[in-house]
Structure 1
Amino acid sequence: MKLKLLPVALWALCVPMAAHAETTFVAEKTVVTDWKAVYGSVEAKDTIPARARLGGTLVELSVSEGDQVQSGQVLGQIVDEKIAFQLGAIDAQLESLTAQLTNAQAELARAEALLDRGVTTKQRLDALQTQVDVVMGQIEAQKAQRRVIEQQSAEGQVLAPISGRVLAVPVAKGAVVMAGESVATVGGGGFFLTLAVPERHAASLVEGNKITIETRDGDRDGTLAKVYPQIENGRVVADVDVPDLDAAFVNARVLVRLPMGAREAVEIPAAMIRSHSGLDFVLVQDGAETFERAVVPGERRMVEGVEMIEVLSGLTGGETVVAHEH
């Protein structure tokens, strides 16, 4: 079968017809959400300092900022040199009391032998028995005191209060620390985005609302997990739960968009607006007539893959907008 070429005149008539093909769009009112951009910071749910339980010299420090630790893990060792002297003094007293006990028990044994022969009295025997009991009690008291000092020495270990990441280590090896002083700060219990929003927007913060977080890998969704009732410096504090939140940097600032309310707006495809002479125009079809109308465009957003633009004035909704010819 042979193809026939169209005459040049017929081809010329087809071109204007294709050029006048029109695309229309009915500008209906839709409900849009107003978003407010605020900065949130990545924070740990629990931030607990690992404190020294004993005053002394920090002779060992096994962690640094960024390390992962488990609850109860030894982070450092504090030594108080006075404890060794106290233990030595108690050991010397125990040796002295042990010698006294040996002598008292020997005298008690002789007195019992003499009492059997009727040489001594019962009162003398009771006095010696009391002396043995007193020395034994002193020995037990010194042993208890030694256990107390041994426990103080064991408290020289600085333990991680929770499992998590070491956020700060304010001291260095060899430093002298006091009892109760922080050796390291551990953050754990999960990580959240903490927001501080002006109190005029407090009514729009509802737990469970979905929000948008801008990250290096694109936008992500999060959930408003908790709104704190106490207002600080005119701002409402809230926590946002984000699955698999990047917690490589704690207190890192992240841009968050919060829903501040909903309203009606007229939106049309952005491609239907043409700008010239510093103004923006759209083609409006009214019956068989088509005319240009000046409009004031607003924000743009993507709707199902199409870039839509809000018309602030010039359209009230219900108009048929015609795409401009190219």
Structure 2
Amino acid sequence: MTRNIWILVFAASLLASCGRDKAAEPQARLRTPTGERLTLAAVAIPERKSVAAEITTRDQAEALARISGRLVRLSVREGDMVTRGQAIGLVVDERIGPETRALEAQIAAAAAEAERAGAELRRVEYLHRRGFYALARLEQAQAGERSARAQLAAARESRSASVAFSGQGEILAPASGRVLRADIPPGSSVVPGMSVATVTAGPPLLRLHVPQSLADRIGAGTAVTVDEDGFETRAGRIVQVYPATAAGQVVADADLSGLAADLVGRRVSVVLDVGSRRGILVPRRFVLTRYGIDYVDLVGREGAVARIPVQTAPAPDPTQVELLTGVSPGDILQNPGNRG
């Protein structure tokens, strides 16, 4: 009998303890931690795009051959500084020498003929005054003398033209600047209009190659930031957008103060400010990362906090992060560091 009583007492105590646990459970579920909270709102986020750029100059002038022939001298190399009008090369047409000598022979022949015609005219004039020759004979001698002098003048002009043509074999620097290309070896055959060297002209700038999908989002004044080290000034602005596309890209020039022309042709990475979009930004301390997954603590309507996964993206401010999925404007987040 006594043993049965103890069994009943023990069972009653177990039931009582279970009742106390069930009564305390709702209170634990309603208890929420307190701490720093943030109400989400959509804000304007600057949108930036990374594109390639090249250090170049506003213009590039070509030193061209003006006559056909053989390049016998090229006195500059890549990187040399030249001034406008400086002689940097020489083209020789081997046909000009024989032609010039032939013209000199023609001049000698024309000069002898002019001398003979002049002597003949003086003799006819003397005899005409004495009445031995008629006026027609005098006029004939005068015409012959004029023709001989004209032929002499023509031969001299032909020789001057030949000498001037040979002088066009000298290649002059078209602008003052730095030589970018001079890769035609001496001894090569060239033709008129062939580029022998390329010279920079104008101040240095950044030439951007922008995808055509961004063409309507850039223009004069668009901010440009160089995304590499080694530049004294890393911020500039677009000064010109060329109205044409090539290979799906738009070319634009950006002015960067203090840009040196020592490394013309160097390719760099730049960041363009192409406007803004609406998004949700939060401080990084509100995002918890575990095993490669980002979480935030979302405060519910009844005050309960739930930890949910979200997708994030870098923000312009390194102390912030953008939330792409999982939350909406108006939601309330709690700092995960305040949870017990």
Q: TM-score, normalised to structure 1's length?
A: 0.81
Q: State the match for 1:233 in structure 2.
A: 247
Q: 1:191 aligns with which of 204, 215, 222?
A: 204
Q: Which letter maps to 1:240?
A: A
Q: Does 1:34 align with 2:65?
A: no
Q: Does 1:307 align with 2:319?
A: yes
Q: Is the 8 A contact 1:76 1:159 kept in 2?
A: yes
Distance 1:253 1:222 in 2: 16
Note the C-alpha offset of 1:92. Answer: 1.6
Q: Deviations over 1:18-76 (max 9, x none)?
A: xx996666655431112122212233332332111111222211111122222222110
* Pairs aligned (count): 305
Q: 1:101 to 1:232 in 2, by over 3 A?
A: same
Residue identity (%):
32
**Farther off after superposition, 29-38 or 145-154:** 29-38
Q: Aligned-pair RMSD on alpha carbons?
A: 3.0
Q: Is the 8 A contact 2:298 2:331 kept in 1?
A: no
Distance 2:292 2:115 in 1: 111
Note the C-alpha offset of 1:317. Answer: 4.8
**Farther off after superposition, 106-115 or 131-140:** 106-115
Q: 1:253 aligns with which of 267, 281, 296?
A: 267
Q: Which letter maps to 1:324?
A: G
Q: State the match for 1:266 in structure 2.
A: 280
Distance 1:162 1:187 in 2: 7
Give the secondary-structure state (helix, strand or coil) at the position aligned to 1:215. Answer: coil
Q: Is the 8 A contact 1:227 1:236 kept in 2?
A: yes
Q: Which runs of 5+ in 2 are unaligned?
A: 1-32
1:206-245 superposed matches below 5 A: 206-217=219-230, 220-245=234-259
Q: State the match for 1:77 in structure 2.
A: 90
Q: State the match for 1:16 in structure 2.
A: none
Distance 1:94 1:276 in 2: 98
1:1-326 superposed matches below 5 A: 27-217=40-230, 220-276=234-290, 279-282=293-296, 291=305, 293-294=307-308, 296=310, 298-301=312-315, 303=317, 307-312=319-324, 313-314=326-327, 316-317=329-330, 319=332, 321-322=334-335, 324=337
Structure with more of its chain in strand, by fraction:
1
Q: Which letter maps to 1:258?
A: L
Note the C-alpha offset of 1:149. Answer: 0.8
Q: TM-score, normalised to structure 2's length?
A: 0.78
**Farther off after superposition, 36-45 or 23-32:** 23-32
